[in-house]
Amino acid sequence: MNSYIPLLLLFLFGMILAGAFLALSHLLGPRRKSKDKNASYECGLEPSGNPHDRFSVKFYLVAMLFILFDVEVVFLYPWAVQFKEAIQSGMGSFFFSEMILFMVILFVGLLYVYGRKAIEWE
């Protein structure tokens, strides 16, 4: 427990410092409002378009497909850790074929997504 006290002190120090900067600049700075300062920030350009415009569902589709194939990769990590041991104990080809089967099933999913044109952007 004693070795965590410096960490706690660092955390508290960081919070106090950042909080002090924000509070001091809010209390001591000049108050001049102008129209430009209150506009929303869009990387330096003029804000265009309604913030509540209807956005297309393709953003959701791309994000979801990324998540799904990413968690497929998550399954690869423990398999990879055990694969070397499996080769040495003689079950290497079985391990390999199981993982290839898993990836083939997900590849069929990818083919389905491609065929239904869900990953086309325009």
Q: Which residues bind another protein (CB under 8 A)?
A: 57, 60, 64, 67-68, 70-71, 74-75, 78, 94, 105, 108-109, 111-112, 114-116
| Smallest distance, another protein to C-beta of residue 58, A | 11
Assigned token pair, 38: 């209150």
The residue whose two tokens read 């499996």 is 86
| Smallest distance, another protein to C-beta of residue 91, A | 9
Assigned token pair, 60: 């959701």
| Smallest distance, another protein to C-beta of residue 46, A | 29
- Give the separation between CA 80 and CA 51, rounded to whole angstroms: 45
